[in-house]
């Protein structure tokens, strides 16, 4: 019985250590890296969006200053009816939800992107978008 208790205590310690170490790793992923996010933008978003001040709209709207902006308000871009009804103010939190599954958050959106499967890439992108203002 003592051997079992010793082994159980060791396993509990490892589980506790894993939980403690994963929390900072999760926080780091949530914080994101803007420099990496610029690459994520180029690789995933740049085909449909620009992010420079005064940049043209493409298939999707220019994303310069998107953080803090209400959905469907970029002048000169024709939004879907669904996005016009969404009434979202873009923040790190709303973008996180949207970028995980755009069609789930705004059914009927024109955005064909299925969503990020890598939370680190998503966090990096959001960190980058927070700098383009």
**Average pLDDT in the chain:** 85
Give the per-residue pLDDT at 36.
98
Fold of 32-129: Cytochrome Bc1 Complex; Chain D, domain 2 (1.10.760)
- pLDDT band (50, 70, 90) for residue 113: very high
Q: Where are the domains of the chain?
A: 32-129
Give the per-residue pLDDT at 25.
42
Task: Give the DSSP per-residue string, 84-130.
Answer: HHH--B--HHHHHHHHH-HHHHSTT-S------S-HHHHHHHHHHHT
Overall average pLDDT of the 68-82 stretch: 97
């Amino acid at each position: 019985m003592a051997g079992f208790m010793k082994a159980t205590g060791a396993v509990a310690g490892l589980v506790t250590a894993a939980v403690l170490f994963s929390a900072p790793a999760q926080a780091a992923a949530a914080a994101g890296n803007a420099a990496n996010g610029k690459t994520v933008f180029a690789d995933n978003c740049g085909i449909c969006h620009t992010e420079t001040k005064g940049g043209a709209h493409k298939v999707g709207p220019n994303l310069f200053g998107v953080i803090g902006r209400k959905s469907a308000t970029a002048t000169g871009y024709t939004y879907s009816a669904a996005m016009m009804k969404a009434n979202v103010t873009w923040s790190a939190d709303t973008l996180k939800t949207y970028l995980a599954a755009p069609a789930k958050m705004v059914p009927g959106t024109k955005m064909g992107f299925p969503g990020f499967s890598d939370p680190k890439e998503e966090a990096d992108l959001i960190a980058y978008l927070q700098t383009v203002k």
